[in-house]
């Protein structure tokens, strides 16, 4: 039932009273800068679009329209017009005056650390500053080909060479899919070029899990860190790129640490540039808040550098990255030299073919073979952001219910503050976002129906924002707010630093986020709701002051704020490292302990990951090398466990690929079943969902839901609403499913003998009592989740097989309250007690077969 206008009023009143009574100002911020041009001379931004609006990133002219291509011509005209409009905005960005400084510094250094507040223009502008640099153009080089000993024709051992293209493209990594896509579309608009695969001449593209959009002309590519790691599997030398920009490094996810490790090796280790003909790779590490000193030290640690593998196989060695160089040969260099800096040079070595001198940025050789003093490897640049004052309001006492408190605050703002001024709310996860969204919708309706507020209070446009949301739904937050409307964006920490959502004047910060945390006694990661760090809280606050002065409502006390950790702790120190180790092994880094990681994880955590990977049969127990199965899993856009299940599903004894894909797709979003807020709704949901529930457990229930949704051809939204299923989450499931199906039809490893069509009517297969499909599916699931199993104890509790921990079936499970002899679960959540979520029933003898349990 909807809340009555009266109760809404009460909500509004109590919220406003709470804040008016107890709120007080927090940190006041420096006065806004009216515009960058007002404080300093207008810089000459030597960008291609400044030089000539007609010139594209390839430096060619785009005015080549023939009459038959009029619509194309019109489209280009529109793109150019939009780019021109955006130019003044770009020029006013805090980073604009630094364009030449950044270009100049990168001509002389290989690694740049760039710190600048969110919104200062790092992600969108830096690639544009660099793309026309000489060192950033593609080159053809000759790479020595190692003779194949096994072929008789190769017995002569003569060194041959192959010509390859190196460089020309800039990669910018992002921790999140949404940021990668939205930045790519913004930069494409700024350049006046179409985006991604929409046109063969597009120069800006993106690549994220389950979605890649590039053209043959792509020169600026936004991609998630995971996708760059995937590209490294195909080409460890990253030959496509002249530069890699690592953005949002302060988030310190596992993948960014891995990316940094590989890049560090590329710029500092011996032999790492062979496959690029010795051509250096520029690295820009960007952050809003990071401890750049730590990263600078990390990149500056002395290590032997193979500077220039030329066609003769001679090497220019530079040990250390700071200071001057001395001559020496590759063979004769003195490893024990304790000086910080020296370099060696073999007999005058020719530049790699077709490579201009300037391109070989890290080489110290000149035509005469003389060494130049070489500057340090790293350089730094600090950008002062543009920030308007943001008033901070804390709650006087801890709030008992975050959602309730968030709703009150939203209504307080909406009914008291003038337009324009959109609201951004930071919540913990998809579930809380969905729940608050439905509460807000109800309040919206009440306000619209109440004669006292109908004509005076504007409309609320409620927009959820979380990672699993389908792209078109995510993009809605960037749309212009309609007249007499206030956007209320309900977001996970996705909007913390990655996204610049325009129009925000009010931020509501729950002070919490969901974090993965390894629980060693359970042997797996669980999702926990944790307090954010101080720097995250300040990032959130900052979102209110990008365009004008704003207000940040913190749903916690000032005392609690002061007790927060200063920075985000790196994921590598708190998560299961299986994925990290598999990534390293797949790239033939066998000595994982000594891989140069910014924050080395504890040795036991690495050992535990190795054991888990052995259990998944991804590593060879004798050699420790990756197995062919492991390599196949590493190339899948899935976790090692889910990848193992997918590959098992094509084995003849399981033969359930289509169904495994449906389940994996459903598991890849947080929750498709919406939580119900009242008893009445709960009952309605239960009865509507009953047709989907399967006695085998949640995995088969998810399968039934996905199959039924896929077969629903009339009104999918209504189908979802009736069952209290999130339509948005279902769309995301379908996105993933489509990609996995495409992958399975193109992948040789995933070729299957299965004859089951994908779109059978709901329940046809899973409810067939005579079918052994449920058994095959659950046994396939066990190949990846053997460590996520528990068995029933005589007292009715469950004990995990790994770690012997007590665990209960989560109330959201269809198996809640049931006694099964054993269970397998997808994840572990810890609230008041330890819960297994997404659970299925097992037979003990299946576990016995796989694990020798009696």
Sites of contact with ligand CDP (CB under 6 A): 93, 116, 118-125, 182-183, 186, 500, 502, 546
Based on CB atoms, which residue is closest to ligand CDP, 123 or 726?
123
Based on CB atoms, which residue is closest to ligand CDP, 293 or 479?
479
What is the smallest separation between the CB atom of 182 and ligand CDP, expressed in angstroms? 4
Q: What H or E segment, with its residue span, contains residue 253?
A: none
Based on CB atoms, which residue is closest to ligand CDP, 522 or 552?
552
Based on CB atoms, which residue is closest to ligand CDP, 394 or 506?
506
What is the smallest separation between the CB atom of 107 and ligand CDP, expressed in angstroms? 22
The rounded distance, in Å, linking the Cα atoms of 399 and 781 is: 41
Taking the CB of residue 846, how many other CB atoms lie within 10 A of it?
Answer: 18
What is the smallest separation between the CB atom of 553 and ligand CDP, expressed in angstroms? 22
What is the smallest separation between the CB atom of 121 and ligand CDP, expressed in angstroms? 4
Based on CB atoms, which residue is closest to ligand CDP, 179 or 315?
179
What is the smallest separation between the CB atom of 100 and ligand CDP, expressed in angstroms? 18
Based on CB atoms, which residue is closest to ligand CDP, 121 or 278?
121
Task: Compute the Cα dihedral for 317, 319, 320, 325 and give only its sign.
Answer: negative
Residues 6+ positions from 426 with CB-CB distance below 8 Å:
491, 492, 493, 495, 496, 507, 508, 509, 510, 513, 540
Helix, strand, coil percent content, the chain, rounded in steps of 5: 40, 20, 45
Based on CB atoms, which residue is closest to ligand CDP, 118 or 361?
118
372-389 b/e (C-beta count within 10 Å ≥ 16 → b): eebebbbbbbebbbbbbb
Based on CB atoms, which residue is closest to ligand CDP, 249 or 778?
249
Residue pair 61/206 in contact (Cβ under 8 Å)? The answer is no
Omega prior to 420 cis, within 30 of 0: yes
At 789, phi and psi to the nearest 5?
Answer: -130, 155
The rounded distance, in Å, linking the Cα atoms of 844 and 822 is: 6
What is the smallest separation between the CB atom of 123 and ligand CDP, expressed in angstroms? 3
What is the smallest separation between the CB atom of 128 and ligand CDP, expressed in angstroms? 10
Quote the tokens at residue 679: 């008893």
Across-strand partners of 800? 790
What is the smallest separation between the CB atom of 117 and ligand CDP, expressed in angstroms? 7
Please report, for residues 284, 377, 387, 406, 480, the alpha-carbon distance to residue 420 in angstroms, rounded to integers and kept in the order given.
Answer: 37, 47, 18, 20, 11
What is the smallest separation between the CB atom of 481 and ligand CDP, expressed in angstroms? 14
What is the smallest separation between the CB atom of 32 and ligand CDP, expressed in angstroms? 14
Burial class of residue 205 in the structure, from the number of CB atoms within 10 Å of its CB (0-12 exposed, 13-18 middle, 19+ buried): buried
Based on CB atoms, which residue is closest to ligand CDP, 124 or 202?
124
The rounded distance, in Å, linking the Cα atoms of 323 and 585 is: 35
Residue pair 239/276 in contact (Cβ under 8 Å)? The answer is yes
Based on CB atoms, which residue is closest to ligand CDP, 119 or 280?
119
Strand order in the sheet with 304-306: 304-306, 317-319, 342-344
Candidates 27, 33, 120, 119; CA nearest to 390 is 27
Total number of residues shown for the chain: 854
Based on CB atoms, which residue is closest to ligand CDP, 124 or 395?
124
Candidates 163, 168, 158, 94; CA nearest to 125 is 94
The rounded distance, in Å, linking the Cα atoms of 837 and 842 is: 15
What is the smallest separation between the CB atom of 699 and ligand CDP, expressed in angstroms? 37
Q: What H or E segment, with its residue span, contains residue 155?
A: none
Based on CB atoms, which residue is closest to ligand CDP, 195 or 584?
195
Task: Output the CA angle 258-663-763, nearest 5 degrees.
Answer: 175
What is the smallest separation between the CB atom of 250 and ligand CDP, expressed in angstroms? 11
What is the smallest separation between the CB atom of 119 and ligand CDP, expressed in angstroms? 4
Quote the tokens at residue 302: 């002395």
What is the smallest separation between the CB atom of 538 and ligand CDP, expressed in angstroms? 14
The rounded distance, in Å, linking the Cα atoms of 644 and 781 is: 8
What is the smallest separation between the CB atom of 51 and ligand CDP, expressed in angstroms? 21
What is the smallest separation between the CB atom of 184 and ligand CDP, expressed in angstroms? 9
Based on CB atoms, which residue is closest to ligand CDP, 119 or 429?
119
Based on CB atoms, which residue is closest to ligand CDP, 32 or 350?
32
Based on CB atoms, which residue is closest to ligand CDP, 503 or 523?
503
Based on CB atoms, which residue is closest to ligand CDP, 182 or 361?
182
Quote the tokens at residue 350: 């020719």
What is the smallest separation between the CB atom of 247 and ligand CDP, expressed in angstroms? 7
* Contacts by residues 6-15 (CB-CB < 8 Å, ≥ 24 positions apart): 8/411, 8/443, 8/446, 8/447, 8/450, 11/407, 11/408, 11/411, 11/443, 12/408, 12/411, 12/412, 12/415, 14/408, 15/405, 15/407, 15/408, 15/409, 15/411, 15/412
Q: Residue 172 in 3-state DSSP?
A: strand
Based on CB atoms, which residue is closest to ligand CDP, 8 or 500?
500
Instruction: Give a three-class secondary structure readout of 593-642.
Output: HHCCCCCCCCHHHHHHHHHHHHHCCCECCCCCCECHHHHHHHCCCCCHHH
Based on CB atoms, which residue is closest to ligand CDP, 196 or 352?
196
What is the smallest separation between the CB atom of 245 and ligand CDP, expressed in angstroms? 10
Instruction: Give a three-class secondary structure readout of 472-514.
Output: HHHHHHHCCCCCCEEEEEEECHHHCCCCCCCCEEEEEECCEEE
The secondary structure of 715-771 as a DSSP string is: -HHHHHHHHTB-HHHHHHHHHHHHHHHHHHHH-STT-------TTPPTTTTTT-TT-
Task: Output the CA angle 204-209-214, nearest 5 degrees.
Answer: 25
């Amino acid at each position: 039932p909807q809340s009555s206008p009266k109760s809404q009023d009460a909500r509004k009143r109590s919220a406003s009273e709470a804040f008016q009574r107890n709120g007080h100002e927090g940190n006041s911020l420096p006065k806004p800068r009216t515009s960058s041009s007002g404080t300093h001379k207008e810089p000459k931004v030597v960008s291609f679009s400044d030089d000539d609006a007609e010139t594209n990133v390839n430096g060619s002219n785009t005015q080549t329209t023939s009459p038959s291509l009029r619509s194309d011509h019109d489209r280009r005209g529109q793109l150019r017009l939009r780019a021109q409009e955006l130019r003044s905005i770009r020029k006013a960005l805090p980073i604009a005056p630094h364009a030449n400084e950044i270009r100049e510094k990168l001509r002389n250094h290989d690694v740049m650390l760039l710190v600048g507040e969110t919104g200062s223009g790092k992600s969108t502008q830096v690639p544009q500053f660099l793309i026309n640099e000489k060192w950033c153009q593609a080159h053809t080089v000759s790479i020595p080909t190692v003779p194949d000993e096994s072929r008789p024709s190769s017995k002569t051992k003569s060194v041959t060479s192959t010509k390859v293209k190196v460089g020309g493209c800039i990669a910018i990594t992002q921790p999140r899919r949404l940021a990668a896509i939205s930045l790519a579309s913004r930069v494409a608009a700024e350049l006046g070029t179409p985006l991604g695969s929409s046109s063969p001449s597009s120069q800006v593209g993106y690549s994220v899990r389950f979605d890649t959009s590039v053209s043959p002309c792509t020169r600026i590519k936004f991609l998630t860190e995971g996708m760059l790691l995937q590209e490294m599997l195909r080409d460890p030398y990253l030959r496509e790129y002249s530069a890699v920009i690592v953005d949002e490094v302060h988030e310190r996810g596992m993948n960014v640490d891995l990316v940094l490790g590989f890049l560090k090796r590329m710029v500092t280790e011996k032999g790492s540039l062979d496959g690029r003909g010795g051509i250096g790779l520029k690295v820009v590490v960007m952050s809003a808040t990071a401890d750049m000193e730590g990263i600078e030290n990390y990149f500056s640690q002395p290590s032997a550098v193979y500077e220039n593998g030329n066609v003769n196989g001679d090497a220019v060695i530079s040990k250390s990255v700071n200071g001057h160089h001395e001559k020496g040969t590759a063979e004769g260099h003195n490893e024990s030299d304790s000086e910080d800096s020296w370099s060696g040079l073999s007999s005058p070595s020719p530049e790699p073919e077709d490579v201009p001198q300037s391109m070989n940025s890290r080489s110290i050789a000149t035509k005469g073979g003389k060494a130049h003093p070489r500057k340090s490897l790293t350089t730094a640049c600090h950008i002062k952001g543009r920030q308007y004052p943001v008033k901070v309001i804390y709650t006087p006492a801890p709030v008992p219910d975050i959602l309730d408190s968030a709703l009150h605050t939203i209504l307080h703002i909406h009914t008291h503050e003038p337009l324009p001024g959109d609201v951004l709310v930071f919540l913990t996860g998809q579930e809380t976002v969905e729940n608050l969204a439905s509460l807000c919708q109800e309040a919206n309706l009440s306000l619209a129906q109440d004669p006292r507020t109908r004509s005076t209070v504007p409309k609320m446009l409620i927009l959820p924002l979380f990672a699993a949301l389908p792209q078109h739904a995510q993009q809605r937050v960037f749309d212009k707010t309609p007249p007499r409307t206030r956007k209320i964006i309900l977001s996970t920490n996705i909007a913390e630093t990655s996204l610049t959502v325009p129009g925000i004047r009010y931020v509501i910060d729950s002070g919490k986020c969901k974090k993965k945390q390894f629980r060693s006694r359970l042997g797996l990661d669980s999702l926990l709701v944790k307090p954010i760090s101080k720097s995250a809280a300040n990032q959130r606050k900052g979102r209110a002051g990008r365009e004008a002065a704003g207000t940040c409502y913190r749903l916690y006390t000032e005392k609690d704020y002061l007790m927060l950790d200063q920075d985000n702790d790196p994921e590598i120190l708190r998560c299961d490292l299986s994925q990290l180790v598999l990534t390293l092994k797949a790239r033939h880094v066998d000595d994982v302990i000594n891989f140069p990681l910014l924050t080395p994880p504890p040795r036991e955590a690495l050992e535990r990951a190795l054991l888990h990977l052995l259990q998944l049969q991804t590593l060879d127990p004798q050699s420790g090398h990756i197995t062919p199965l492991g390599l196949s899993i590493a190339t899948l856009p899935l976790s090692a466990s889910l990848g193992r299940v997918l590959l098992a599903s094509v084995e003849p004894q399981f033969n359930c690929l289509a169904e495994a894909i449906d389940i994996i797709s459903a598991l890849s979003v947080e929750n498709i079943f919406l939580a119900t807020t009242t008893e009445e709704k709960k009952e309605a949901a239960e009865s509507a969902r009953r047709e989907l529930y399967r006695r085998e457990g949640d995995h088969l229930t998810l399968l039934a839901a996905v199959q039924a949704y896929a077969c629903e051809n009339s009104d999918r939204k209504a189908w979802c609403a009736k069952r209290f299923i999130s339509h948005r989450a279902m769309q995301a499931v379908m996105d993933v499913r489509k990609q996995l199906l495409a992958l399975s039809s193109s992948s040789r490893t995933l070729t299957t003998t299965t004859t089951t069509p994908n779109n059978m009517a709901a329940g046809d297969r899973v409810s067939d009592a005579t079918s052994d499909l449920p058994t095959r599916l659950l046994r396939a699931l066990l190949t990846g989740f053997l460590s996520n199993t528990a068995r029933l104890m005589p007292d009715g509790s469950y004990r995990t097989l790994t770690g012997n921990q007590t665990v209960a079936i989560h109330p959201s499970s269809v198996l809640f309250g049931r006694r099964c002899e054993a269970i397998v679960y997808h994840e572990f959540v810890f609230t008041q007690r330890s819960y297994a979520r997404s659970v299925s029933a097992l037979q003990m003898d299946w576990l016995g077969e796989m694990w020798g349990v009696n």
